């Protein structure tokens, strides 16, 4: 935050207090089943201490599109706040969407399938290569490739994996099987017998 200060004389790149009702959510922020977990705790913290880290927005006409910090914004609304500290950035639609997706991918509450889907959007919608996506996210290109492979699993398979709290390594092991019917058969045995990754791989080898 070097070079930023709490003045309202210049609005771009500095921290200002914005009216909450003038801020709307970025459409490139997908929701997850665990998205609301801990939101009430965050609201309690905001109620006691205020919003300690400014949200990021960009100006769109007389309103502001949220780039990052939606949980802080929602917590502030829960507390009945009418204003929130924000940093206003001057950027294009494309850069705003990319930044929102990158921040979303780096969140800790995403499932690995949500993360893979968001990475796929960076590549297919915004024309990035796997290498460019890896650089943006601070990951190895091989890591990005492995995450994208997870999207070969069908929606029912993904649902079973997430609902039963299996790991990304479980999911990658299942990709060694050629058909959804085989994978569902193995998934059923893995879930019923609470198999760890090593035992899952042995079952797949059989």
Long-range contacts of 23-26 (CB under 8 A, 24+ apart): 23/55, 23/57, 23/63, 23/64, 23/65, 23/66, 23/73, 23/84, 23/86, 24/63, 24/64, 24/65, 24/66, 25/65, 25/66, 25/70, 25/73, 26/65, 26/66, 26/67, 26/70, 26/96, 26/97, 26/100
Closest alpha carbon to 92 in 119, 65, 53: 65
Contact (CB, 8 A) for 30 and 120 = no
For residue 118, what is the enclosing H or E element?
A: helix 112-124
The residues carrying an active-site annotation are 70
- Listed in sequence order, the residues at least 6 apart from 41 whose beta carbon sits closer than 8 Å to its beta carbon are none
Q: Could you give the CA distance from residue 33 to residue 111 in angstroms, rounded to a whole number?
A: 9
């Amino acid at each position: 935050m070097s070079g930023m200060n709490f003045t309202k004389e210049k609005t771009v790149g500095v921290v200002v207090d914005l009216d909450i009702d003038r801020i709307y959510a970025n459409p490139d922020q997908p929701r997850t089943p665990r998205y609301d977990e801990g939101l009430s705790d965050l609201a309690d913290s905001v109620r006691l201490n205020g919003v300690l880290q400014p949200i990021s927005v960009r100006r769109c006409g007389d309103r502001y599109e949220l780039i990052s910090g939606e949980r802080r914004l929602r917590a502030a609304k829960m507390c009945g706040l009418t204003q929130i500290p924000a940093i206003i950035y001057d950027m294009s639609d494309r850069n705003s969407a990319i930044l929102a997706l990158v921040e979303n991918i780096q969140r800790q509450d995403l499932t690995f399938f949500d993360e893979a889907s968001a990475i796929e959007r960076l590549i297919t919608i915004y024309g990035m290569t796997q290498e460019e996506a890896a650089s943006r996210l601070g990951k190895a290109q091989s890591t990005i490739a492995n995450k994208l492979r997870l999207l070969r699993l069908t929606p029912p398979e993904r649902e079973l994996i997430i609902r039963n709290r299996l790991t990304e390594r479980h999911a990658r092991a299942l990709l060694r099987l050629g058909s959804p019917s085989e994978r569902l058969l193995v998934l059923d045995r893995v879930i019923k017998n609470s198999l760890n990754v090593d035992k899952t791989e042995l079952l797949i080898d059989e």
